[in-house]
Every structure is written in structure tokens, then in C-alpha cells.
Amino acid sequence: MTAAIIGIGLIGGSLALSLREKGIAGTIIGVDNDSANIKKALDLRLIDRAASLEEAVQASGLIVLAIPVDAILKVLPRVLDLVSTQVVMDLGSTKSKILQAVANHPKRGRLVAAHPMAGTEYSGPEAAIKDLFKGKTMVFCDARKSDEDAFEMAEALVESLEMRRVFMNASEHDLHTAYVSHISHITSFALALTVLEKEKEEGHIFELASGGFESTVRLAKSSPDMWVPVFRQNRENVLDVLEEHIHQLKNMQKLLENEDYEAFYKLIQRSNKIRKILK
Amino acid sequence: MTAAIIGIGLIGGSLALSLREKGIAGTIIGVDNDSANIKKALDLRLIDRAASLEEAVQASGLIVLAIPVDAILKVLPRVLDLVSTQVVMDLGSTKSKILQAVANHPKRGRLVAAHPMAGTEYSGPEAAIKDLFKGKTMVFCDARKSDEDAFEMAEALVESLEMRRVFMNASEHDLHTAYVSHISHITSFALALTVLEKEKEEGHIFELASGGFESTVRLAKSSPDMWVPVFRQNRENVLDVLEEHIHQLKNMQKLLENEDYEAFYKLIQRSNKIRKILK
């Protein structure tokens, strides 16, 4: 099979590596607005050749969109305009707005909406990693709206990637990811800003940074090109979670101001329940 | 040399492993209020034998305090009361209050105040790891107040642990650790509470948790027995940083409410400067 990957960055590039390794795609065509990305993707042998969107869709049995979610909103309807029997997958981190945008498209059935819960804080073709998806979760959204053959092909692909499969509707997906992914990025960005701000006055503050600090701020390396569109499309859920998170921080602040260490202790004990969830 | 380690948990236990491996201590005596900890430390061969505080100080050339910082406030003056020419090290995560408490002690010179910027979110003897300290930073605080021979012995020990050495006064130390360690813990605790709170209503939220989430909340597994005393002793610095962190989050909240995505983009770009600092 020939596969077209639209957006050859961390996700698209890593998928290309897996599609090739698993023998799913014999030829991989890359589509990317950024010619530097195309050059790197060719150099790294992530793709066999580059093509225009139209040409790539024509030539491929599978078309995967791995571009920022604002770009998916624009490009996905164009891709569906072009397909006949091909399968289209979008890997966007938000789903409601994207699926609304193509809800009445005559080719909606060719689309399988999926979100791999996998990534790193890096971006671009050079960030692509073998086995990025292995053992991770793929969320299929509104799977019943996909044609049976299209969904079966996507599911078989996800199975060969050795991913766990979870099914949700688009609004559940957007709510849950606000909690377990989007808010983590917001707090990391804010924490980085807090410390960078202070460093101007104090200097040398980072001499003491260790693993704990690194762990909580590493997501602050993430690209605004990917994340601003995510926050924009999932604005209401993100605002809800952010409100709750600020409330929790203010509660801790109040207890510390009042020197109520007993209540503070109980709060930490309650937060320790996260042990049951994380491995 | 015989070394006494007061508090055989993650830090004390890991130090015991290194002291033995490097041949620095032939015999290691453990002191711990918790008899279950002593039993585990003996089973794991972290220590050779257990003893009372008095007996351990008598028998040892080096006495290391690796207990929560509120316990250090109580135990350190008692240890200094007991020493003659031995060297005492405290490994507490705060320094101002502890060093104030012994500032006028006649044996103050025997104390070397140090803080290893190393740890994990786990605690207890079973959390002890070989090489926990290797390549990490040891902060020496108010080093000039230590007797020359005591400091030299501590420095040689830290050198054999293959640690980087940094020198600060106690108040600088407490300010800097509030930024690069204590606030990371506060945000992790708050993030865990935010998500655990929501999970009650929604369930299944954690099916989607991936590496990014895990990274930002893993510190929320940390023990309140260690952390509440840290926040208590470093309360003013922690409150300052927390204020700034809440301010940054509220700013992001306001931009998202106003849909000012251009300013939001610039904020993320600014936070990306953390790339220069983290490896």
C-alpha cells in the first residue's frame, strides 16, 4: 500500500517509521507546507517522496493527517473532497470542532478520527522516534460514523502498532484530554514562566534544578504552533480545568498563609492517591 | 570509619549504599524511630546494626542526619550536645531555620550543612538506590561556619560520591530551592487533586493519561511527612513563588477567556526559553 502522511513532524514522522517497519506501507509520500521539513524527512528516510496534497491523495490508499488541529480544520474537508475509496485518518489532539467541520461531508464515512496518547516535548521530523506508539493508547472517536471497511483498516493498523484501543465520543475525548494532557501543558508553561521571571533578578537559580523540577517543566519546551490551536479548540474544557486547578492552588496558598499544617498534610495525603493511577 | 545515619529512608539508605560501596565507612549504624524501618534497613543490608542516638554518636566518626526538617530542628542540637571531634552533616531540604537553631551552639563548627539535589517521589528504606547522588549537586550552606577539618572530610566524601559542589548561604539556598524544587511539588499536588476531584464525576479519565501527565504529577506521590515540614520552614519563600505562579496561571486564563491567542502564543514562546536550561 502507498500511504500519504500530511505533516511530517514528531507524530507523522514516527508513524512513517512504524508503517515502514511493520510492512504496512511500501511507499510513503510526505506532504508538508514547510520545505525544510520535507528535506529533513527525505534525508532521514522517513518518506520516499514528497508530493502536493492532490497528488498524494490520488496515489495513496491511506491518508493520515498529523498537522496542528487548526490546520486539520482547513485541510481535512479538502482531503475528503478528493477521496473516493481511500481511508483518511486524522490524529488531532482535539476532536469536537474537527468532527463538526466535516459532519455533513458526503465522504465523512471515509474518515477515522483517532488520537494517539503519545508524544514528546519535541517537534519536527528530527523528533520522530521508532516505537513512539508501542504500548500507548489510541482513542477512536465517534467510530460508528466511519464506514466499516475504513474503520477495520484503521483498527488493523493500530493493532500492528501494538497500541491499546479506547473508544469515546468526541466531547468525552475533549473533556478527558483537558484533564490528563492539556492542563499539564498549561501548568508547565506557567511554571517555566514563573521561574524564568525570577531568574532575571536572582541568577544562578538553575544550578539547583534537579529531576523533580525537570519533570514538572519539561512540557514547557512544547511548540506553540501545536498547542495554541489545541487550547483554542478545547477552550471551554481547558478553562474549566484551569479554574479548578487555580482553586486548588489558592486553597494550598490559604492554608500556608494561615499556617494550617494539619489541613495541608491531609491535602497532600489526598493527592497521594494518584499513586494508584500512575504506575 | 564508622558512620551513623539518622533516618534510614530514601536519602539515608541511598547514602548508606554509597558509603559502603566507596569504602568510606566500614561499619554503618542506623538510628530510626520507626522500628519497621530499622528492620527493613537491616534486611536490605543498608546498615550493619541499629543503635540509640547516644550510642551511635559515641561510636561514629561521622553522623549524618537524613530525617524530615522538623525532626532535624529537634535532633540536631541533641547530636551537637553529644559530639566531641566527630563530624556531623545534615542533609535537610531547608537551611535557614535549622542553622538559626544551632547558630550559637558551642559545637556548631562540627556541623557541615549540606543539601543533596537528588531524590525520587518514593520514601522509606526500600526506596534507597545505588548511585542516587552520582552526578547530582550537593549544596554546602554557610560552609565557613564549619571547622576546617570537618568541612574537608565532608567535601572529600561528596567528591567520592561524584557530586558537583555548589556553595551558598542559607537564605539564598532556601530562596532558590523554593523556585526549583518546592513549587514543583506544590503544583504536582494541586494538579493531582484537580484531576482526582474530577475523576469522581467522570470516571475513566485516566485511561488517556500518558507520559506528559505522568511527568507533571509524579511528584504528587511524595510523602507529606517530608514535605509539610519543608513548606512550614520555607513558608515565606514558597508563598512568594506560589503567588507568582498563580499570577502566571491567571494571566493565561485571562488570555484564553478573551481569546487573545496572539498573546497566548507569545507567552508559550517565552516559556520555551526553559529549553536553554534543561538538557
DSSP state of A31: E
When pLDDT is cut at 50, 70 and 90, the band that residue A276 belongs to is confident
CA A110, CA A112: separation in Å to the nearest integer? 7
Same domain (yes/no): A6, A141: yes
pLDDT tens digits for A43-55? 999 999 999 999 9
A169 vs B: CB within 8 A: no
User: Residue A219's domain is classified under what CATH number?
Assistant: 1.10.3660.10
Cα–Cα distance for residue pair A95/A12, rounded to 1 Å: 18
- CATH code for position B20: 3.40.50.720
Q: Is B232 within 8 Å of A188 when comparing Cβ atoms?
A: no
Instruction: State yes or no: pLDDT of B87 exceeds 70.
Output: yes
> Do residue B113 and residue B216 come from a single domain?
no
| Together in a domain, A184 and A157 | no
Partner residue facing B215 (CB), from A197, A215, A249: A215
pLDDT confidence of residue B279 = 63
Rounded Cα distance between B210 and B242, Å, is 26
Residues B58, B104, single domain; the answer is yes
B172 Cβ contact partners less than 8 Å away, ≥ 6 residues apart: none
Predicted confidence (pLDDT) per residue in B106-164, tens digit: 999 999 999 999 999 899 999 999 999 999 999 999 999 999 999 999 999 999 999 99
The domain boundary, picked from B140, B168, B196, lies at B168
Cell of B173: 539556598
The answer to whether the CB atoms of B118 and A210 lie below 8 A apart is yes
Are both A163 and A194 inside the same structural domain?
Answer: no
Looking at the structure, tell me whether residues B179 and B161 fall in a common domain: no
pLDDT tens, position by position, A81-140: 999 999 999 999 999 999 999 999 999 999 999 999 999 989 999 999 999 999 999 999
- Please indicate, yes or no, whether residues B219 and B266 belong to a single structural domain of this protein: yes
Q: Which residues of B touch A167 (CB under 8 A)?
A: none
State whether B213 and A252 contact (CB < 8 Å): no
In the block, cell 526549583 appears at: B180
pLDDT at B201 over 80: no
Q: Do A216 and B215 touch (CB under 8 A)?
A: yes
Which of B194, B207, B278 is the closest to A137 by Cβ?
B207
Which domain range does residue A128 map to?
Answer: 2-168
Q: A277 vs B144, which has greater pLDDT?
A: B144
The pLDDT value recorded for residue A110 is 98
Paired strand residues for B167: B140
Per residue in A216-251, pLDDT (tens digit) is 999 999 999 999 999 999 999 999 999 999 999 999
Q: Which of B166, B213, B264 sits opposite A181 (nearest CB)?
A: B213
User: What are the helix (H) ranges across A170-234?
Assistant: 170-177, 183-202, 211-217, 224-233
B142: left (phi over 0), alpha (psi -120 to 50) or beta: left
What's A69's DSSP letter?
H
ipTM of the complex: 0.91
Last residue of a domain, one of B146, B168, B190: B168
Q: Which residues in A lie closer than 8 A to residue B232 (C-beta atoms)?
A: 259, 261
Q: How sure is the predictor about B50, in pLDDT bands with cuts at 50, 70 and 90?
A: very high
Look at chain B and report how many structural domains it folds into. 2
Whether residue A203 lies within 8 A of chain B, CB to CB, comes out as: no
Given an 8 Å threshold on Cβ–Cβ distance, is A205 in contact with B272? no
Residues B153 and B203 in one domain: no
Rounded to an integer, what distance in angstroms lies between the CA atom of residue B111 and that of residue A172? Answer: 57
CA distance B163 to chain A (A): 12
Residues B145 and B188 in one domain: no
- Cβ-based contacts of B196 with chain A (< 8 Å): 270-271, 273-274
> Quick one: A162 and A178 in the same domain?
no
3-class state of residue A67 by DSSP: coil
In a shared domain, residues A195 and A149: no
Label residue A212 by pLDDT band (50, 70, 90).
confident
Indicate if A119 and A246 belong to the same structural domain: no
In this prediction, residue A171 has a pLDDT band, given cuts at 50, 70 and 90, of: very high
Residues in chain B: 279
> Where does a domain end: A147, A168, A189?
A168
The answer to whether A26 and A1 have CB atoms below 8 angstroms apart is: yes
